[in-house]
Amino acid sequence: MEGLYRGAMSPRRAGFRMPAEWTRHAATWVAWPSHEELWQENLAPARDAFVRLVEAIGQGETAEVLVPDDEQERLARAAFVHVAPGRVRFRRVPVGDIWLRDTAPIFLEGPGAEVATVRFAFNGWGGKYVLEHDDRVAARVASLAAAGREFAMPFVLEGGALDVDGEGTLLTTRQCLLNPNRNPSMSPREVEDAVADAVGCEKVVWLGDGLLNDHTDGHVDTVARFVAPGRVVAMEPREADDPNRDALRALLRELGDAVDARGRRIEVASVPSPGRVVDEEGRVMPASYVNFYVANAAVVVPTYGSPFDDEAVERIGALFPGRRALGVDARAILSGGGAFHCITQQQPGSGGS
């Protein structure tokens, strides 16, 4: 492997970029929910949702499943009885929790379809959730993937804070990326340049705030996602008591004025917001339909027992013709802070089918 990032040889300067999620994957990296003390009564339903996600991934690519020990691997193997042989591979890596979108490396493609990884400093989402092992997951996954070059960037970034179209444009939010709990010594321009350099983009589209009570301080993958070059999906509030009504309307206005790296005005497709989704104690949860995951054969859409679930699954599925749209109850996963995009990390390549 070639050396780690040293300032001059960034991923973009070396000819690498982050592909769009809908391009072909060789594999998807996930982590088995295993920490009873974190999940408590939600552990079993979280595992049920996780299994359905892995089954969908296994229809078209390999699921690389991180497990911390023999016992958890035994439990996971027993759960994946409906996944085709060879479509699940277990990797012995300890994790703090399952949020690999943020703790695993981001995979890049370069000249000759070479695959590389880029990782960042990780500080537990601004110091709020600092769990043992999470700050070492990216290096361990990069080593296991043996993808080629490894880049390590000297600033804090989580993968869920950005979304790309594969053609030079990146979406992010000011609330997260410019939060002083991430990179307080960097100016907004320095943050923009560093992130674009790390994932091979030329244009950053800045949005405002994320969802209420979002543990991540407004990751963009809960409010807006590219679904094709020049096209973004976002949520529209349908009910007067939607806790994110104002933020979502503001975001739709910002997207309506946005232009991508190729000079195209971005087209916005809308899906409903799930509305007010609360936990057992009545607290508003950051429920989002756009935290879907695009696998080779399926798009897995989180559902929340909302009257808008079916419409959201149908509309998102229509944005990805040729893939099966699968709605999976994500309320147990959401109790930990996110949904299906938050717990996946795609590895590009031709290994899937």
Domains of the chain: 25-347 (3.75.10.10)
* Amino acid sitting at position 333: I
* Amino acid sitting at position 19: P
pLDDT at residue 1, rounded to an integer: 31
Of 145, 136, 172, 153, nearest to 91 (Cα)? 145
Rounded Cα distance, 176 and 170, in Å: 14
Share of the chain above pLDDT 90, in %: 92
Least confident span in 35-39, 57-61, 169-173, 203-207? 35-39
pLDDT tier for residue 2 given thresholds of 50, 70 and 90: very low
Least confident span in 2-6, 146-150, 180-184? 2-6
Is 187 in contact with 73 (CB distance < 8 Å)? no
The mean pLDDT of 126-141, rounded to a whole number, is: 95
- Sign of the alpha-carbon dihedral angle for 189, 190, 191, 192: positive
pLDDT at residue 7, rounded to an integer: 46
The answer, yes or no, to whether residue 352 has pLDDT greater than 80, is no
CA-based radius of gyration for the chain: 19
Please enumerate, as own/partner, the contacts of 264-268 that have beta carbons within 8 Å and a separation of 24 or more.
Answer: 264/229, 264/230, 266/205, 266/230, 266/231, 266/232, 267/230, 267/231, 267/232, 268/231, 268/232, 268/233, 268/234
3-state secondary structure at position 245: helix
pLDDT at residue 84, rounded to an integer: 84
* pLDDT tens digits along 276-294: 999 999 999 999 999 999 9
pLDDT at residue 302, rounded to an integer: 98
> 304 or 112, which is more confident?
304
As a dihedral over the C-alpha atoms of residue 223, residue 227, residue 228, residue 230, rounded to 10 degrees, the angle is: -20
- Sign of the alpha-carbon dihedral angle for 83, 86, 90, 91: negative
The answer, yes or no, to whether residue 4 has pLDDT greater than 50, is no
Region for 113 from its dihedrals, namely left if φ exceeds 0, alpha if ψ lies in -120 to 50, beta otherwise: left
Please list the active-site residues.
342
pLDDT at residue 221, rounded to an integer: 98
Per the structure block, which two tokens stand in for 192?
């923009």
Of 163, 153, 247, nearest to 204 (Cα)? 163
pLDDT tier for residue 351 given thresholds of 50, 70 and 90: low
pLDDT at residue 226, rounded to an integer: 98
- The residue with tokens 């361990």 is 140
pLDDT at residue 304, rounded to an integer: 98
The answer, yes or no, to whether residue 252 has pLDDT greater than 60, is yes
pLDDT tier for residue 147 given thresholds of 50, 70 and 90: confident
Is 270 in contact with 235 (CB distance < 8 Å)? yes
Per the structure block, which two tokens stand in for 264?
């195209």
Rounded Cα distance, 30 and 54, in Å: 8
Per the structure block, which two tokens stand in for 237?
């509030």
pLDDT at residue 57, rounded to an integer: 97
pLDDT tier for residue 350 given thresholds of 50, 70 and 90: confident
Rounded Cα distance, 174 and 292, in Å: 22
Rounded Cα distance, 286 and 211, in Å: 6
The mean pLDDT of 123-127, rounded to a whole number, is: 96
Per the structure block, which two tokens stand in for 17?
């970029």
The answer, yes or no, to whether residue 8 has pLDDT greater than 60, is no
Share the mean pLDDT of the chain: 95
* pLDDT tens digits along 71-94: 999 999 999 999 888 899 999 999
pLDDT at residue 64, rounded to an integer: 98
Of 136, 129, 177, 138, nearest to 156 (Cα)? 177
